Amino acid sequence: MREIVIKENEEGQRVDRFLKKYLSKASLSFLYKMIRKKNIKVNNKRVEKNYILNRNDKIQLYFSEDTIEKFIEKKEIFNLKRDFIIVYEDNNILIVSKPDNLLIHEDKSESKNTLVNQVLSYLHSKGDYDPESEKTFVPACVNRLDRNTSGLVIIAKNYESLKNLNEMMRNKDFIEKYYITVVKGTIEGKRELKGYLVKDERNNKTVFTNRKVNGAKEIHTKYSVISTNKNFSLVEVMLITGRSHQIRLHLSSNNTPIIGDRKYGDKKTNEEFNKKYKLRNQFLHAYKIRFNGTLGNLKYLEGKEFKGELPSKLKK
């Protein structure tokens, strides 16, 4: 039998969700069966699968140690070179500026050198994260950027901050996210773009539509022009919704594609910028985050704004 004491990074979640993270290789059906048969108890009592864990609760697992170890997936910390820049850090959050050509999470093409693994390596090296002492919690990114988009990413360093940040991200008014981009064409003033996107899984692209169709997701983008000439415009973009490829698709549908965007951009213009400036990816940088509203242990961030410098390759 193994007994697990619930601490601050585990409290406030359903027991079945905690167990699925702790015994990640076990199926949910197996865990539910063990709860029903009283092979899993909380405080020596049978509980329902939706029981909310409190700090200092004790979970009893009436399995052999071999069975428990078989179901636990060990978290590996890689010793990685740090490619990101630290913009802000405290005990609860870390805000970094990631370079382009770096995945946030692993995929089929890269399982080791990702932003998440670089951050875990950094936090582990300074003693802020130890997978051996944590039961289920792993520091996590709460906003996404495409592989070839550079800029600011927020990381939660504890479970309470992760819960609050995720709730803040769901509320469109709490966290404002701003981007800098260069687009083809002359545009002026300020404008709002609205519509829908549909995922094309086969080609790993999204398609823009003005009307809601089956599977479509609403997108809402604001932009204001910083400077323009007869050929190109430097633009600040603010995301209202946060869909994958949203800015790139929305500006392309507006006949003002982002320079360097190989999926939604203008091929001839991209080739010219590659030849002249060695720009191989989209000119899109998440440069500013503003906390308009905050929750719980993050109230001290309310009204604060954080900026990241434009990468040197984009300053050209």
DSSP, res 14: B
Give me the torsion for CA of 272, 278, 279, 280, rounded to 10°.
Answer: 100
Report the distance separating Cα 212 and Cα 197, nearest Å. 9
CA angle 182, 185, 189 (to 5 degrees): 80
Q: What are phi and psi of 94, to 5 degrees?
A: -135, 125
Q: What is the DSSP string of 275-312?
A: HHH---S--EEEEEEEES---GGGGGGTT-EEE-PPPH
CB atoms within 10 A of CB 50: 9
| Helix ranges, 10-106 (H) | 15-22, 28-36, 65-71
Instruction: Say which residue the tokens 């001839």 belong to.
Output: 268
Active-site entry in 57, 146, 261, 266: 146
Query: What are the structure tokens assigned to 31, written together?
Result: 């865990």
**How many residues make up the chain in this entry?**
316
Instruction: Report the C-alpha gap between 261 and 270 in whole angstroms.
Output: 7
Q: Which residue has the tokens 């590659």?
A: 274
Q: 262-269: long-range contacts at Cβ-Cβ below 8 A with a sequence spacing of 24 or more?
A: 263/205, 264/205, 265/184, 266/184, 269/184
Q: Is 146 a catalytic residue?
A: yes
Q: What's the number of CA atoms in the CB half-sphere (13 Å) around residue 236? A: 12
**Sign of the torsion formed by the C-alpha atoms of 238, 243, 245 and 249:** negative
- Among candidate residues 300, 296, 256, 292, the one with its CA nearest the CA of residue 178: 292
| Catalytic residue IDs | 146
